[in-house]
Structure 1
Amino acid sequence: MDTPQRRRRPDRWSLHEFQEMELNAPPNEKWELIDGIIHKMMTGGSLAHNEIVVNLAVVLRSELQARSSTCRVYTTNVPVVSEAIDMSVCPDIAVRCGPRVLDQKEMTDPVLLVEVLSRSTGEKDRYDKAEAYFRVPTVQHYLLVAQDRMDLTVLTRGEADWMRTRFHAPEDVAEIATLGVSLTLAEIYENVKEIVGPY
């Protein structure tokens, strides 16, 4: 089978080549393509990781619905792809705006992306994925959420560069201006302290 472990090639993979490989990969194997380089995805995840993803998805969805927004919230099963930069990545959460195509299996135009950090993926999320996400023109916000402590980093696209804001306290409010959404750390980390212990 033509998988990354068995196929050694000096050059990088195109998005098309990666998608062909995925069709033949075992169902229990999950991969991502970042700037033409293939990475094996972490499967499963901790209870804290899943709790944070659910909390954020629920809050985002509720706020968007309250504003009658056309934006929708998606989780890890929908890859974000870009042929221009050879990328196929499954963020923990993605928000896309505009008309929906219900049988669509991937997206090219997310507005907001979220990754919940872990020890095994934190460096990749902070650097490799961030660099790739920043090259997607529609992406306006990238959220990095720690799971072992109360720590949220919001990266927002500016005119010349990305602006970084960090939040640490339960009452802190992160304003996601493009979506008109406000997120408190208390909402994001609800019930997580019982899993990971005191922050």
Structure 2
Amino acid sequence: MQVQIEKQYYTSEEYCQLEETAEYKNEYRDGEIIPMTGATINHNLIAGNFYKIFPTNINNEDYWVFMSDVRLWMPEYRLYTYPDVMVVKGKPVYEGKGTNNIINALIIVEVLSKSTRDYDRTDKFKFYRSIPEFKEYILIDQYSYYIEQFYKQNNGEWLFKTYESENDILKLYSVYFQLSILDIYNRVDFALEEE
């Protein structure tokens, strides 16, 4: 005989309250709380490198860069998540009372892991595209020099480009800025094993 375990659903307010004291980060998907996997050293290095390199001012325009402790809210899908890095042009627009939940990300960066890469490339990208300001998605492999870049055209279509060499330069399309692949992967050791 099989025993079915009933799923527990939470309001977004309950989720935000629980996240304040949670030991680990969780994603919120339309009432469900989904535990997020922990990051590796390479994952943290790559996200941190992108965060450090990206300037806060380009051509006299202000940009805000956030790492994985600031949540992104997508009301169309009733989803809270923590992108590895997100960039906001101009002032951040917050959801709710505090400053923990952003709704206007321009660029989102995810560092791919074995456990999240399929989700990051499919459903998560679909969710992110519901953000009107969202124009560029960067997926960075932590196991080799490999970056996938999606950028939104003025007609609403998304184009795709890859970078597979340590000598490549990642050219952003939503802002006038370039990053060296070697700088993004600075101090990353591909020989490290995940636990």
- After TM superposition, the structure 1 = structure 2 runs for residues 146-157 of structure 1, keeping only pairs within 5 Å, are 146-157=141-152
1:125 aligns with 2:115: no
1:112 CA drift (Å):
0.3
The C-alpha deviation readout for 1:114-172, integer Å capped at 9, x for no partner, is 00000111111111211101111110001000000000001001224211100011221
**Distance (whole Å) between structure 2 residues aligned to residue 188 and residue 172 of structure 1:** 11
Q: Answer yes or no: is the 8 Å Cα contact 2:74–2:130 preserved in 1.
A: no
TM-score normalised per structure 1: 0.82
TM-score normalised per structure 2: 0.83
Sort the Cα spacing of 1:101 and 1:38 in 2 relative to 1 into closer, same or farther, 3 A.
closer
1:69 CA drift (Å):
2.9
**Distance (whole Å) between structure 1 residues aligned to residue 32 and residue 152 of structure 2:** 25
Aligned to 1:98: 90
Q: How many residues align?
A: 183
Aligned to 1:89: 81
Sort the Cα spacing of 1:167 and 1:37 in 2 relative to 1 into closer, same or farther, 3 A.
farther
Aligned to 2:53: 59
Q: Answer yes or no: is the 8 Å Cα contact 1:34–1:129 preserved in 2.
A: no
Q: Answer yes or no: is the 8 Å Cα contact 2:93–2:104 preserved in 1.
A: no
Aligned to 2:7: 8
Q: Extract unaligned runs of 5+ from structure 1.
A: 1-5
Match of 1:113 among 104, 108, 115: 108
Aligned to 1:3: none
**Distance (whole Å) between structure 2 residues aligned to residue 36 and residue 154 of structure 1:** 31
**Distance (whole Å) between structure 2 residues aligned to residue 96 and residue 66 of structure 1:** 12
Higher helix share: 1
Q: Extract unaligned runs of 5+ from structure 2.
A: none
Q: Answer yes or no: is the 8 Å Cα contact 1:111–1:141 preserved in 2.
A: yes
- After TM superposition, the structure 1 = structure 2 runs for residues 1-199 of structure 1, keeping only pairs within 5 Å, are 8=7, 17-24=11-18, 27-34=22-29, 38-43=33-38, 45-61=39-55, 64-65=56-57, 67-99=59-91, 104-158=99-153, 159-192=155-188, 195-197=189-191
**Distance (whole Å) between structure 1 residues aligned to residue 53 and residue 134 of structure 2:** 19
Amino acid at match of 1:155: F
Q: Percent identity?
A: 22
Amino acid at match of 2:147: L
**Distance (whole Å) between structure 1 residues aligned to residue 116 and residue 50 of structure 2:** 19
Q: Answer yes or no: is the 8 Å Cα contact 2:74–2:80 preserved in 1.
A: yes
1:181 CA drift (Å):
1.0
**Distance (whole Å) between structure 2 residues aligned to residue 37 and residue 176 of structure 1:** 34
**Distance (whole Å) between structure 1 residues aligned to residue 31 and residue 140 of structure 2:** 26
**Distance (whole Å) between structure 1 residues aligned to residue 120 and residue 34 of structure 2:** 12
Sort the Cα spacing of 1:105 and 1:160 in 2 relative to 1 into closer, same or farther, 3 A.
closer
